[in-house]
Chains A and B, each alone.
Chain A
């Protein structure tokens, strides 16, 4: 079935790095834009980054720009989020999500992973 499975979360000290992965299955991964969304404990949803189906276009939230890098390996059906210079305020559950439309403008995220927790603390 269509599925996204995140991994790579954990506890990390401020200033350090972490790389999240999101393994996709059950759909043609290389045809869809992919996103990262995060949710701090007890808070709402915050969109983090997007990468186009072929990796040629990427956009970031201002809160992570210059520190986080989104990438994908279509041969491995895997999405990544490289997080550098981590801060306490980056503590959150990180979800990967699939864009609903193949080609054209995004109009929703139709498949979400279960999330992976990142805790930034000394």
Chain B
């Protein structure tokens, strides 16, 4: 199975900050990586697919990059509604594993 790690696991930031989250895969997954945002008590929401394609309706302050084994999610200017937990997911091969998550909290 392909394992995903995320760093950091926790991030404290202020409104307006630029935030970067890294996701690393245990083996190459081409660009089969998605990013999700989850708020407490809610279902995950798709942000990015194919490593760098913004899902329709998602603000342009979110961006993704990378391929192979290293990927990043960047929020260019953190907004109050962005405080949440972020997960990466690989869809290169079954089982479609998720990363452990990165919680973005208010500083």
Contact = CB atoms under 8 A, between A and B. Distances in A.
Contacts of B43: 95, 112-115
Contact of B46 (A44, A46, A110, A115): A110
The prevalent SS among residues of B at the interface is loop
Interface of B: 1, 32, 34, 36, 38, 43-46, 49-50, 55, 87, 89, 91, 94-101
Contacts of A44: 87, 98-101
5 contacts: A35-B96, A44-B100, A60-B95, A110-B49, A113-B43
B58 to A, nearest CB: 11
A112 B91 CA distance: 16
Interface residues of A, number: 23
A5 B55 CA distance: 22
B32 A46 contact: no
A65 to B, nearest CB: 10
B46 A47 contact: no
The 6 closest A-B pairs by CB, nearest first: A108-B49, A112-B43, A108-B34, A45-B98, A59-B94, A47-B96
Most buried by B among A45, A50, A60, A112: A45
Contact of A110 (B50, B55, B95): B55
A47 B98 contact: yes
Among A100, A108, A109, A114, the one with the most B-chain Cβ atoms within 10 Å of its Cβ is A108
Contact of B98 (A46, A60, A100): A46
B91 A106 contact: yes
